[in-house]
Structure 1
Amino acid sequence: MSNTTRYLRIFIGLSILVCCGALMIFSAAFLYISPKLPSVEALKDTQLQTPLRIYSADGKLLGEFGEKRRSPISIHEVPALFIDAFLAAEDDHFYTHHGVDISGLLRAASQLITSGSIQSGGSTITMQVAKNYFLSQERTFTRKFTEIFLAIEIERALSKGDILELYLNKIFLGNHAYGIEAAAQVYYGKPIKELNLAQMAMIAGLPKAPSAYNPVANPSRAKVRRNWILGRMLSLGYIDADDYKTAMLEPISAKAYGTKLDVDAPYVSEMVRLNMLKRYGRSAYEDGYTVITTVNSNLQETANKALVDGVIEYDTRHGYRGPERQWTIPAEFTPEKRQSLSKKLEEIGNIGPWYPALVLSVEEKSASILLAGELQTTLEWEHGLAKTIRYISEDRVSYAAETASELLSVGDVIRVKMSDTTPRHWMLSQLPKVQGALVSLEADSGAILSLVGGYNYQKSAFNRVTQAERQPGSNFKPFIYTAALDNGFTPASIINDAPIVFDDDALGNTWRPSNDNGRFNGPMRLRQALYQSRNLVSIRVLRELGIRRAINYVDRFGFDTSKLPHDLSLALGSHSLTPLDVVTGYAVFANGGFKISPYVIDRIMDRDGNTVYRADPEIACRECGEEDTDAIDNIEAETLDDIIYADDNALKPRLAKRVLSEDVAFLIDSILQDVITRGTGRKARVLERSDAAGKTGTTNGPTDAWFSGYSGGIVTSTWAGFDQNLNLGRREYGGSIALPIWIDYMREALKDHPERHLKQPDNIISVRIDPDTGNLAHPGQSNAIFEYFRTDNAPSENFNQPSNPYGPGSNDPIEIF
């Protein structure tokens, strides 16, 4: 027997022994591990961690929350070329093996023998599914055997398409992206169906090492990996030579995209997030909940713009305050220095429409500036510097600058914004210090249509609509006047607008309240007093009404009466309320006397689209009687189209409680309309709405400016002020800051809403009166006016106002000086 034959027999024998040994080891492993294998059937009902998503009422994405960004996708929605890219990168024998690729395992074994450690797992896509769904990431022989056995079971239980779908939705692809659809959004800002071949190959290269091949963090290594996959696709016949060449020439276009939202509504999204966290705990971020809010996307965008424009308008008229900081510009301005300074500007970052810029040079009528991205441009006199005034104090500004050097110096770090009127021109600007808030409700239901808690969430996440408790000032007066109308006063009641002095320990010894303009008009009708916002009249009305009675009365508007002051300053809105508190109270005026509760979550759906919560608001029904619980079925659909749903499980709306009688609601609505037509809210006449009503509010300082009003079934409150309670300026009022924001918003909000007037109740009549006395007018009196009265207290021929000019029936002495 030759040596060759002997060695061949030895080799064959050893091979048989090795195979037998391997078979014994494999069998032993199977007997040991198989009883512990999880049920593959669980994969059929697997629940992937999916983030919380928040949408507007019209289906626009407002927010997304969750540690893992994932958008599960059906295998039928995945482009075939994308699947080919993953097969080329991970498992080109996927459609021919039964869960385990023997050649891959042998290759991994040889690497183990030659290197002494596990270099690669030889894993198929099916084995990766087994690992990702059932196993840990540790590299041990026990886990590897378990992975193999599970893969075989998975192949028996599921189709190849099902396995691929599980794999493509589960894999981690870096930057918090789990699954291919999320990766497409994270790296390219678009869905996978819009990716080109090079981008698909880039994503397909990520599962092996998401950090090492991250195209944002390591573009050069990612490109090498991408090109290798393209080469594999060519060699496997997945693409042709032309496709290969085109894709190889593609630059690295990936960058870190945040969640692409359709509408900027961060304050709304945060309110919903907190609510969901309270309801479901941490699972709110992982269980794929979808929240549909009551917010109208168009109105939300309108509110955003109205508030930003409002604070910019205030900020501009109070002057330019100077640069945010000063940098030293090197004498030798090399490209490297330019790049370094541009990088620093990028780190500062833009806030909303305000971009940081560095002043490089200043000419007489222009300035050269550098922006992030090494963009160098010019601030031109006509487009951003002319007529600019400088801030001296909240009450004083300089004359308009005549040269650019009066405003800017080399090295100034400033803010610029793109011109609204002249495209591609930058304008000198600054981050406003003043803040603002806007909240708008559907008056009949309380559904929040839009909400802005500050002019920029990035600048400040503090929600001033729900968290900022500020003095409402005269914005609170309508509630006191309503109490008066329900307790004997009429719109024609005569009250003296004259100076008064109170010695009251609760108010700090001697208190001398005054009107905003410092003037006094003498005796005047209650209607006049409200639309002219006369402080002294309001105090006298409250004094006659009684503080305890007034506080008990305003409780029906939803205010926390435990926080209201038990003194006469209540008439001037000296207490603190949030804009949400105020707008909820005004909704009672807007809907004809019903108490509603504001809400923002319309419904919540689970990952399968099942509704797990639906709002059940109480609805104002002016057509319903006190006991007519079925009449709501007959309300016009237009009133309830956002509340009643067409499906079989729709809730039948509940009736809101009437808290104002029809006659009182009609009277106060009539007076609040006069605030617009002839009072402190006259600017709102530009809307040309005869049903518009509301009230301004300005506090001492002034530190707070308000306007709350309604029209067409929409009620909106706006507020402006400094978070630090600084003075706004002695010429600033609710009518100069808050009202313009309200007008800009309501102009758009009311486009599709017809005028809506309260029906005149049967017990309300219109009577001609003497405007000076409030008594019945004499026949032929030339200056007579019409006024509304309830039939039981309308003036008659023998009617005379009480001799006491401070209110009906009042006998309390008041010091006059």
Structure 2
Amino acid sequence: MAENGQSRTARRKQKKASKKPLWKKIALWTIVAMLAIGIGVGALFTYYIATAPDIDASKLDTPFSSKLYDKDGELFADLGRKQRTKVEFDDLPQVLIDAVTATEDARFFDHPGIDVWRIGGAVVANITDGFGSEGASTITQQVVEKSFLSPEKKISLKVQEMWLALQLERKYSKERILEMYLNKIFYGNQAYGVAKAAEVYFGKTDLNELTLPEAAILAGLPQRPTAYNPFKNPDLMKDRMNTVLHLMVEHGKITEKEAEEARQVDIPSLLTDEKPDSTKYQAFVQQVRKEVEQKVDGADIYTDGLKIYTTIDTDAQEHVEFLLSDSEDNPISYPEPVVNPDSDEGEKVGAEAGMTVLDTKTGAVRAIGGARNGLESQGFNHATQMERQPGSTFKPIMDYGPAIENMQWSTYHQLNDDGPYDIAGSGGKQIETWADSYFGWVTARYALQQSLNVPAVKTFEEVGQKNAKAFAEKLGIGFGDNNVKLTDAIGGNIGTNPLELAGAYRAFANGGIYNEPYTVTKVEFPESGKTVNLKPEPEAVMSDSTAYMITDMLKSVVQQGTGELANIPDLPIAGKTGTTTRPDVEGSPDAWFSGYSTNYTISVWTGYDNNNIGLQGAETKIPLTLFKHTMSELSKGMETPDFTKPDSVVEVAVEEGSRPAKLPSDYTPESQIVTELFVKGTEPTKTSDRYDQLDPVKDLKATFDKESNSIQAEWKYDTEQEVSFKVSASVDGGQKQELSSTEETSIEIANVEPGTEYEIQVVAASGKTEGNTSEPATTTVKVPEDMEDDEDEEEDGDEKENEGGNIPAIGSLSAKPIPSEVAIDVSWQYNGPPVQYEVTVSQGGTPIQTQTVGTKGIVIEGNGVQPGQTYSITVVPVGQNGANQGVNGEAKSTEVTIPQSDEGGSDDGGSDEGSSDGGSSDEEETGGEEDTEEKESA
């Protein structure tokens, strides 16, 4: 029974236990988990604290200057070495103390080194917006971080920072800590510490002379010393000063009335006229700072005591700065200052410039020209900071580069520059040529060489916006949130700068290999021994065929295109010009040149900070001369090999004007053969038949017609081509004379000499291609002696010849223009004693040429014979034998007008050759009818 009772009791207890509420179980496990986490966090924090550095008194007061080394490891800058003046707490006026604590740490004099309330707010912000989004550092913590710790945003460092702040507060007074802080902070313009900052900005060496607005400015500067630089950005500084004044009112340091009075001050009126001396090579140093801050989280080159190894070539840097200066020795002629159209007071502004020089092989930045006459401390850097439209320098990047890469275009690829290009959806806006005319069918090489806009836009459309953008982005071109537009094809939408553009062009120069341009190779933290490598990794962003073919096209730009002014004899370089235009601006707001050799890549921009002012005429060529002088100087004494053609590219001779590209035939004239580049495997295989030799005429026959005293010649010819036939003849083996050019397959040779043998030659000639003729076909015909019934006439003739002075006039004189030629076909008949014929061509009554011939016809050309002119043809028979020797017969004349040549274009990209339409003028029709009538009457 007892066992049964115990069993029931145990079962009741077990049942009761199994009915424990769920929330109690969750609470229990939550407590256990929190204890575990707390123990773990505590252990981790204990580890962080144990590994924190010791407080070193020698590091508390003075920031460490960073040292910058050039490409050869030589020191060229020691940042912050001189711009310091130490101050003690007793030297600090109350207005400055109030401004600093209200802005940076309102409870500074009350907390033990860390501010729990601020930590709570920061925790919430970091949870919602991500770690590091909001700080809770007190002034004490900032002193610790700048003295002993890395600026990286890590939990371990934040724990160490709070721990060391507590330790620092135990060891030093609040007054001493504030003194440390104000001696350590960087205020911009190479000023470290509040005392030096007061001297730099306000010219005051006694801090007790500081006014409320000046104290507010100094308290606001450390947050963003570059952005809030009052010398450069007084309006932005004014906003920051007002924020400080608001915080001072909020924390009871000043009254609202005092704040309002301070807000009325004009900041530039407070500043000293003597601006601080700048560190050398400011444009380059500015980019160094940017790279270090971006790639080494939180690092400050002015306060962290870094050793920074840079890529600068100080000789190149000094030469670039010289070319951007107003030195009397500077070979560059800059425009005189012009009136700023946006100024009501007639303010004058000068042209600006920016330049970047890269090492083509590595992408290392060798020099940066940030502004005319040097870049002031933290001033606007035109080489790295601006965003201006690049004009036609974008054509290799947005158009022809992606076309070769994605569609394997050749440098010969045919494009039609046929007139303004309508921009869809623009309300009638068009893209037009910059030149005076359009060029018709041209090669891609010629289109880029002459910077033609319409072919570029057509190329962009065929490539597609997606492919164009992807290609450009691989070259480092940033689009941000901007949409790619049709006008990007000619650089008229998104902005860029010389650093970015030089990086893109360098990839073409470097066989398609790109890496971001860089000024820093590595950074060393001397205290910790830590080294950070900042050299970017190279990446293949296009095929070597694309890179080489674009380079070869850009060499044409410099050698015989828009970039000729940048050409340097005996130095293989490639490059592209670029200008921008706006309807509301006279001239060009932007002028560019980007070019390269195998050693250096250089990009140059010139213009005005106010892009409502345009460069005029030759001023747009300044970037080309800047490039030429810089590249020439850097290349002195250096071997500059030409660009090497990769195996993926082949050179092919093609027949100019063929579409698509065709190989030249054996008969293609040398003048019509061009050599272009093709991606291997895409070269043409078909041969052009445009210049193939014509087939000779067939079945040429010639017979003498006694009744008309003429030779009748005829032949056959089978072809769909437009041809004419040149007929020549020789008499008794004499010299051949061209008689006529005809489109018919027969001809009559009138008034032939009895007893002679004529050799007739007929050659087929192309009506479209000059010089394309067939092999000659020949035949002979014998003209018999006079028949018996003509013997009496012969005797009469002999008698007349012996008598002399009986030379009759010629008959059936005809003159007509020859189709497709600037020439006149003249023929006549004659029946009398032996003569030669004196043929005179006159215009307006003035003889322009005279010839003597023995045949009854002549082709007149050259020597003043021009299209659209009317000529008088006079033929005089001149006796040759006996008493008739030298006796002239009666002169006969006729007139003929040569029609204007057809000016229409042809298939070969703008050539005027072969443009005749076969003759359709009124003069030709009339001449033909007269000729027919005379032959019939004869």
Give the TM-score normalised by structure 1. 0.49
**Max radius of gyration: which structure?**
2
* Higher relative strand content: 2
Q: What TM-score comes out, normalization by structure 2 length?
A: 0.43
Higher relative contact order (CA 8 A, sep 6+): 1
Higher helix share: 1
